[in-house]
Amino acid sequence: MSPEPTIADVAVCVYCASRPVPQQHLDLAAEVGRGIAERGWTLVSGGGRVSMMGEVARAARRGGGRTVGVIPRALVEHEVADTEADELLVVETMRERKGLMDAHASAFLALPGGIGTCEELFEVWTSRYIGMHAKPVVLLDPEGHYEGLLNWLEELAGTGFASRHSLEALIVATDVREALDACAP
């Protein structure tokens, strides 16, 4: 029988914006980083210092949390590699980045972001609903950033293009505590 997961085994892979965004989103990222550290968990991130990605990692470290960043060599300058990370993994391709982020994570948490965030979220969400992994996939959306997307996905369930089961594989939370509770094993 495999042992019960310990606090040290919990690693939350956070997907979020890498572009300049309004302050309230940076504050949200910092709150998530603090929350991860308070629980004694590890943060897995895209390994950049920019925007929300940087905020979440800095806040996690300020709180004493461990941070792992995975960044493609081609983005080391553009996304300003997070050299303060406890572990900074520099890879060659985006696919390797996503693979290593997955491998280090026990849960996935998407915050407000753009198309890169959506791409990452959809991959772990779709692979969860077809049963390729059983890690929680959580979307934290306190201000309706994803409202249009979620409404459209509901329409897809109505017309049969998406199953109810697939939509239920994504946990949608509106505050940080609820989102992190959903990431717990």
Longest Cα separation, the chain: 48
Asked whether position 82 contacts ligand AMP by CB under 6 A, the answer is no
Residues touching ligand AMP, count (CB under 6 A): 18
State both tokens at 122: 């959809």
Q: Chain-centre distance of CA 49, in angstroms? A: 15
The CB-of-158 to ligand AMP minimum distance in angstroms stands at 28
Neighbours of 29 (CB within 10 A): 28
Q: List the Cα angle 17/150/98 in 5-degree steps.
A: 40
Asked whether position 19 contacts ligand AMP by CB under 6 A, the answer is yes
**Closest to ligand AMP by CB, 153 or 184:** 153
Asked whether position 116 contacts ligand AMP by CB under 6 A, the answer is yes
Give the residue from 116, 109, 61 showing the smallest Cα distance to 85: 61
Residues 6+ apart with CB under 8 A from 27: 55
Asked whether position 45 contacts ligand AMP by CB under 6 A, the answer is no
End-to-end CA distance of the chain: 16
Asked whether position 120 contacts ligand AMP by CB under 6 A, the answer is yes
**Closest to ligand AMP by CB, 39 or 58:** 58
**Closest to ligand AMP by CB, 9 or 147:** 147
If DSSP codes are grouped into helix, strand and coil, which group holds residue 47?
Answer: coil
Asked whether position 114 contacts ligand AMP by CB under 6 A, the answer is yes
Asked whether position 40 contacts ligand AMP by CB under 6 A, the answer is no
The CB-of-14 to ligand AMP minimum distance in angstroms stands at 10
Give the residue from 39, 89, 87, 30 showing the smallest Cα distance to 62: 30
Exactly one of 31, 55, 79, 102 binds ligand AMP (CB under 6 A); that residue is 79
Residues found near ligand AMP in the complex (CB under 6 A): 17-19, 46, 48, 53, 75, 79, 94, 97-98, 113-117, 119-120
